[in-house]
Amino acid sequence: MNVKPAKILVVDDEQIVRINLEKLLTKLGYEVVTTDSGERALELLKEQEFNLALVDLVLQGMDGLELLERIKRKSPETIVIILTGYGSMKSAIEALRKGAFDYILKTYDEDDEMNFRIMRGLERQSFGRQLKQQLLEKERLKAITELAVTCNDQINSPLGVILGNIELLKINMPAMSESIRHTFEVIEMEIRKIEEIMSSLTRIAKPVIREYGLGKYTMIDISKSEMKKTSARAAAAKDKKVLLVDDDNLMVDLMANMIEEIGCKPLVAYEGNQALELFRKENVQLVVSDINMPGMNGIDLMEKMKAEKPKVPVMLITGFGKEDAAQVARAKGADGFLGKPFNFADFRDMVERLT
């Protein structure tokens, strides 16, 4: 399957900057659209969807800060990275407060630096979408569960009355014909099926939806839906604590939601020293840590943890240089590795294997 390249909007009033960035980003595999003004950038955002925008801080007419604010209002999922010169660092920091993901100096030395910032921005967008989807799935599951509980309450009572009356009829009509007795047995059997269906609806963890009839409606396929763990398994999972370490708040939120879905208890840290404190204080069954973090990186953190508690498994994650990082992680003793972005199924399988 061909993956559609990320689309990047470059906004800079210097032609040479636009030309150079378009050449670089195209070479890196991105789809690129350029413009020289904030006004035209907003028009393009009406016509097209962009994953990321590189915005010059100092523009003629509408400046970069105003454009940033308007992009965030119009297209909140679009990641914005500010291009700035040495003389406008204060404004670049203000841009971060207003919602920019990052900033980069126009005098950047390496193409890899630009690509690294963009990749991190695109990762953030991917994680944001995954988190949003998780929240929607939770709301949908909550609605299904509430409906199922209501139906159980409202349907099981009359079913119980029907079954009770059938039993009374059997007792008071001992000489009933075989055909009537068989009819009662069929009714009882179908009522038990209804009870089982109602019970299954309350235990659904991951509903599978399929078309019903001619596709006008959809329905839950109970036979293919994933059910919640049994109480014994769920209780055992809830006792497991998983320490999540990443300097990206959104990534931590996403993983914490995933860990809760798996049935474990998430503990979160945003840098290495904070993670070490929690690791020493809590009885942790698994550590999931980003590799690229400011201060103490994930490899150094893992080595410190392994020196203190060698039996606790550590899974490392990263989105940059994934192939090389995977080799280094394994060589350094990591128990598992995932490249960002990853899906819930891969994350769940890795966590369940390591815990």
Q: How do 7-11 and 52-56 pair as beta strands?
A: parallel
Q: What is the largest CA-CA distance in the chain?
A: 101
- Looking at residue 282, its pLDDT comes to 94
- Looking at residue 70, its pLDDT comes to 93
If you average pLDDT over residues 281-294, what whole number do you get? 92
If you average pLDDT over residues 1-27, what whole number do you get? 88
DSSP letter assigned to residue 211 = E
The alpha-helical segments, DSSP class H, found in the chain are 15-27, 38-47, 64-74, 89-97, 111-172, 178-202, 231-238, 249-262, 272-281, 298-308, 322-331, 344-354
- For the chain, the structural domain boundaries read 7-108, 139-227, 231-354
If you average pLDDT over residues 207-234, what whole number do you get? 72
**pLDDT top residue among 113 and 46:** 46
Name the pLDDT band for 231 (thresholds 50, 70, 90).
very low
- Looking at residue 15, its pLDDT comes to 92
Find, among 248, 268, 247, the residue nearest to 256 by Cα: 268
Q: Compute the distance between CA of residue 275 and CA of residue 283 in angstroms, rounded to an integer.
A: 13
Name the pLDDT band for 117 (thresholds 50, 70, 90).
confident
Supply 111's token pair: 């193409």
- Looking at residue 315, its pLDDT comes to 95
Percent of the chain scoring above 70 in pLDDT = 92
- Looking at residue 214, its pLDDT comes to 66
Name the pLDDT band for 21 (thresholds 50, 70, 90).
very high
- Looking at residue 309, its pLDDT comes to 94
**pLDDT top residue among 268 and 176:** 268
Helix (H, G, I), strand (E, B), or coil: what is residue 166? helix
Mean predicted lDDT score pLDDT of the chain? 85
If you average pLDDT over residues 21-36, what whole number do you get? 93
The partner residues of 220 in beta bridges, in order of sequence, read: 209
Task: Decide which of 3.30.300.30, 3.40.50.2300, 3.30.70.980, 3.40.50.10320 is the CATH code for 7-108.
Answer: 3.40.50.2300
Contact of 101 with 126, CB cutoff 8 Å: no
- The kind and range of the H/E element at 290 are strand 286-290
Topology of the domain covering 231-354: Rossmann fold (3.40.50)
- Looking at residue 50, its pLDDT comes to 95
Q: Is 284 exposed, middle or buried (0-12, 13-18, 19+ CB in 10 A)?
A: buried
* pLDDT, tens digit, 9 for 90 and up, residues 50-66: 999 999 998 888 999 99
Q: Compute the distance between CA of residue 350 and CA of residue 355 in angstroms, rounded to an integer.
A: 9
CA distances from 158 to 152, 168, 172, 193, 195 (A): 10, 15, 21, 15, 11
Judged against a pLDDT cut of 70, whether residue 32 lies above it is answered with: yes
Q: Which residues contact 51 (CB under 8 A, 6 or more apart)?
A: 6, 7, 8, 78, 79, 122, 125
Contact of 345 with 338, CB cutoff 8 Å: no
- Looking at residue 167, its pLDDT comes to 82
Q: Is 297 exposed, middle or buried (0-12, 13-18, 19+ CB in 10 A)?
A: middle
Judged against a pLDDT cut of 60, whether residue 235 lies above it is answered with: no
Judged against a pLDDT cut of 60, whether residue 234 lies above it is answered with: no
- Looking at residue 326, its pLDDT comes to 82
Most confident of 18-32, 153-167, 180-194, 314-328: 18-32
17-21, 73-77, 238-242: the lowest-pLDDT one: 238-242
- Looking at residue 135, its pLDDT comes to 80
CA distances from 111 to 27, 30, 117 (A): 11, 14, 10
Give the burial string for 98-128 (b: 16+ CB within 10 Å, else e).
Answer: eebbbbbebeeeeeeebbbbbbbbbbbbbbb
The partner residues of 266 in beta bridges, in order of sequence, read: 242
Judged against a pLDDT cut of 50, whether residue 329 lies above it is answered with: yes
* pLDDT, tens digit, 9 for 90 and up, residues 164-203: 888 888 888 888 888 888 888 898 888 888 888 887 887 7
- Looking at residue 320, its pLDDT comes to 65
- Looking at residue 345, its pLDDT comes to 79
DSSP letter assigned to residue 122 = H
